[in-house]
Homo-oligomer: A and B are copies of this chain.
Amino acid sequence: MTLIDGKAIAQQVRAEVRDEVAAWVAQGHEPPGLATVLVGDDAASAIYVGGKQKASNEVGIRPFDLRLPQDASHDEVRATIHELNANPAVNGILLQLPTPPQVDGPALTTEIDPRKDVDGLTPISTGLLSKGLPGLRPCTPSGCMELLRRHDVQLEGAEAVVVGRSDLVGKPISAMLLAANATVTTCHSRTRDLAEVCRRADVLIAAVGVPELIKGDWIKEGAVVIDVGMNRTPEKLAGDVEFDSAVERASLITPVPGGVGPMTIAMLLRNTLEAAKAAA
């Protein structure tokens, strides 16, 4: 059994992005720009936004740090998004959710120019992914795919089982695995015999948000297990997979934390660079 070191792979991706940004700038281009829009003063949101700013800086991406007051109107936030859409120095736009109640954050997200949708979560980005057309892909599922790629996991013809059907992870990773020629089964809370379906998986993606829902004996001998879950329990930060028993059967598995988690920001930086290149 091999542990997938998401922290190390994320560092590697970030180093690659840093080198590519430097080469891009050396060619005479402006550095890629990533704008974060934070409305109000939620402490957790401020920490997330700060993390993205810091990560951008580290790889040479120019951060644009937009902050609007807690009582900003929907139209004010909308105007900010549209200004960023029009600003050629900005290649990626993130509207930090949740927004205060007077601002319809999810609706405003759909007004981000698809070419700057570095979160890859607008309907048009979702459609481009489904159709296999060029576009920006959502960061967390891209991160999972990157982990599989770096470990040379054979996806063509593999039975892939995705547990969870969120817009954020389950659905897009199902689309990505299908594009990689896996036979893909998507499961969820209404799946009749989840254990049995999981036992078919050569590649199992757990993205359901229930601590240790997936038991070790649901894992096929030699399977690859990617655990996207991050569930705070009284004792620890638990994944969706019962790790201690799953390691007995998996050939390759992500720990929680230190597996998928670190990949999200790394892929966000990569998306921002790709968006800048596509815009040039």
B-binding residues in A (CB < 8 A):
122-128, 130-131, 133, 135, 156-159, 165, 167, 171, 174-175, 178, 181, 183-188, 190-192, 197
Assembled-state Cα–Cα distance A191/B182 (Å): 7
**Within 8 Å CB of A188, what residues of B?**
178, 181, 183
Contact partner, A165, options B125, B178, B191, Cβ 8 Å: B178
6 contacts between A and B (CB under 8 A): A126-B126, A126-B127, A130-B130, A165-B178, A178-B186, A183-B185
**Within 8 Å CB of A156, what residues of B?**
190
**Within 8 Å CB of A187, what residues of B?**
183
**Within 8 Å CB of A122, what residues of B?**
127
Assembled-state Cα–Cα distance A22/B127 (Å): 34
**Within 8 Å CB of A130, what residues of B?**
123, 126-127, 130, 167, 171, 175
Pick the 3 closest A-B CB pairs, nearest first. Answer: A123-B127, A127-B127, A126-B127
**Within 8 Å CB of A128, what residues of B?**
123, 127
Cβ distance A177 to chain B, nearest Cβ, rounded Å: 9
Choose among A122, A130, A158, A181 the residue with the greatest number of B CB atoms under 10 Å from its CB. A130
Q: Is the CB of B157 within 8 A of A190?
A: yes
Assembled-state Cα–Cα distance A157/B193 (Å): 9
Q: Which residue of B lies closest to A124 (CB)?
A: B124
Q: Is the CB of B157 within 8 A of A192?
A: yes
**Within 8 Å CB of A127, what residues of B?**
122-128, 130
**Within 8 Å CB of A123, what residues of B?**
124, 127-128, 130-131, 133, 135
Contact partner, A181, options B135, B184, B185, B190, Cβ 8 Å: B190
Assembled-state Cα–Cα distance A130/B186 (Å): 13
**Within 8 Å CB of A158, what residues of B?**
192
Assembled-state Cα–Cα distance A186/B178 (Å): 8
Choose among A125, A159, A185, A191 the residue with the greatest number of B CB atoms under 10 Å from its CB. A185
Cβ distance A57 to chain B, nearest Cβ, rounded Å: 32
Cβ distance A234 to chain B, nearest Cβ, rounded Å: 32
Contact partner, A126, options B131, B186, B191, B197, Cβ 8 Å: B131
Assembled-state Cα–Cα distance A136/B186 (Å): 23
Known contacts A122-B127, A183-B187, A183-B190, then 5 further A-B pairs from the complex at CB < 8 Å, ordered by chain A residue:
A130-B171, A130-B175, A178-B186, A184-B185, A184-B186
**Within 8 Å CB of A192, what residues of B?**
157-159, 183
Assembled-state Cα–Cα distance A183/B188 (Å): 7
**Within 8 Å CB of A175, what residues of B?**
130
